[in-house]
Structure 1
Amino acid sequence: MTQDLNENLSLDTVIRQRIKGLRLAKGWSLDALAARCFLSPSTLSRIETGHRRIALDQLVPLAKALGTTLDQLVESAEDDDVVIRPEPEHQRGVTTWLLSREHSASGTTVAKMRITPERSMDDVGLSVHPGREWFTVLSGTVSLVLGERTILVQEGQAAEFSTMVPHRVGAHEGPVDVLTIFDHGGERAHLHSHD
């Protein structure tokens, strides 16, 4: 019972901090937010400082006014394990480490990839799928084929492109390490294509 009470107090404090933090991030005064969610500035001030209990019927308009959802405003502050321990997945000429959790809220997947010349550009067909992809080159040089063009992307450079253009990413004259962000279409096409 005491632990549940402490967890509820902790979540209550986090919700108050989120309300105030989101308000300040938007550059709004108490008056500005109060007008948007039909509360008095003094009520809002007492909510933020913990001098008034937060009622559910207040949270819904607060979340809407702050541009978030009720679920995001009241989600648990518990992150049992914030460290991601990527396991390498090997395919011919490509090793991939997933650096984001599956089913991330943002709808994107972050991965580090090492591509070696063993992944022959002739063995890998051009890929086309809805969405966009982004990568930055950590080491080496990427050979990026976009339609009829071949673009060399050097270490320290980044590339972003529509994945509706037929494309292929490979290593140019040696291994290359990239940090990449895929949307759902890119994840299915590039990370699960051999499942």
Structure 2
Amino acid sequence: MTDPITDTDSVLAAVGPRLRTLRTRREATLTEVSDATGISVSTLSRLESGQRKPTLEQLLPLAREYRVALDDLVGAPETGDPRITLRPIDRHGRTYLPLTRRAGGLQAYKVVIPTARPGDRVTTGSHEGYEWLYVLDGRVRLVLGDRDLELAPGEAAEFDTHLPHWIGTTDRGPAEVLMLFGKQGERAHVRTDD
């Protein structure tokens, strides 16, 4: 029978390397993580090196910052169920369903975009990253730089998000799209067997 104190110590000891790996994969500095979480740089450093045991008050903001489940930070055993629990995020009238739980790297979402209304403003924006989208249902309007495109079901587009862009629908109804987003400019790699 395992000693629960020893087992807890080994679980907590493994958190530091996981935190360091998540931070370095995101190419974030301790200062950037400190600014985002409110945890001091020295505490973050000691957590990553294993010189300090993490508390729940520290792990919660770190899990949010790295976009991982708390179970992933502490190495909780797998439940045997590989399904991803979709927790919808409503933002600016759109519904985003995260399809990945991986920290950093490419993120996948199913997005439901409501019907455009007459008079809706098209406001383009740009940011760091790279985006790929695939239209599942409805018709999507993509304004990309000085181009104004309409995508139908089964069509896809990919673009560098430094280019001013806006994604919406036409006035014919709502749309559903799959989106892959790489925050640091990661691109989706498509392989074909020739």
More helix by share: 1
